Homo-oligomer: A and B are copies of this chain.
Amino acid sequence: MAVRTPDPDPNERGDDGTPRDPRGFGRPGHPLGDGTFGSPAPGNAANPGWLTDVELAEARRRLPILYVEAVPVRTDGSGQVTQVGVLLRATPMGEITRSIVSGRVRYGETVRDALFRHLENDLGPMAFPLLPPQPVPFTVAEYFPLPGVSAFHDDRQHAVSLAFVVPVTGTCEPRQDALEVTWMAPEEAASDSLASEMEGGRSTLLRLALASVGALR
């Protein structure tokens, strides 16, 4: 089975081809990289940070690519995690897998803005995620194209991912390739049966997330 990971094509297209980022305009004080430095890329006059598919594919064979990932959770009134959100995703080849929120950090974009953007892409605009005040992830997941180097694997690229637990307070309406968000108890999220439905080491990432909030037994 071909392993396809962090973010699948539909999302990448938005990431790299189309200048789609409504949020960048509405948030003064959080400037996204907006193409004011450097010369325009061929085929993308607006922003040198937006890459064509060919350019991104080339970069992925030459440089570690920076990602953010998020495990959405529900918490009770005292902050304790009660439920974990796991995405049901369709890969470009039509396979169905379980996953978490994941995506690339663009040129000029803060980690925080990238995290918000991918949460919104995957969970919809009414999810109301509460991003942590700390800039430090619960783990740094290193995805290598060759399996076995680490717990994480992505046959497309060497990706380094900053992974966060993010409480979500609103309603999730998955968009793009994320078909559904399934909320489950921490024990279920850590189970071997769920792990068998996840790829590239995501089940490990989920367990590390649960451990970081003291919800792993």
A-side interface residues toward B, CB under 8 Å? 27, 29-31, 33, 36-39, 41, 48-49, 51, 55, 59, 61-66, 73, 75-81, 105-113, 115-116, 130-140, 142, 144-146, 149-151, 158, 160, 162, 165, 167, 204, 207-208, 211-214, 216-217
Give, as a whole number of angstroms, the nearest-CB distance from A181 to chain B: 18
Complex CA–CA separation, A138 to B136 (angstroms): 7
**Alpha-carbon distance A202/B217, docked complex (angstroms):** 10
A108: chain B residues within 8 A (beta carbon): 144, 158
CA distance A31 to B145 in the complex (A): 12
Q: How far is the CA of A116 from the CA of B77 in the complex (A)?
A: 9
List of B residues within 8 angstroms of A158 by Cβ: 33, 49, 107-108
Name the contact of A165 in the complex, choosing from B78, B112, B133 (C-beta under 8 A). Answer: B133
Q: A133-B73, A165-B133 are in contact. Are A64 and B140 (CB under 8 A)?
A: no
CB-CB nearest in chain B for A108: B158
Instruction: Tell me, in angstroms, the Cα distance from A140 to B163 when the chains sit together.
Output: 12
A214 CB, min distance to chain B CBs, angstroms: 4
- Asked if A112 contacts B80 (CB within 8 A), the reply is yes
* Contact sample, A vs B, 21 pairs, CB 8 Å cutoff: A29-B76, A33-B158, A37-B145, A38-B62, A49-B61, A49-B62, A51-B62, A78-B113, A79-B112, A79-B131, A79-B132, A81-B133, A110-B142, A111-B142, A132-B132, A133-B213, A134-B212, A136-B140, A137-B140, A139-B211, A140-B214
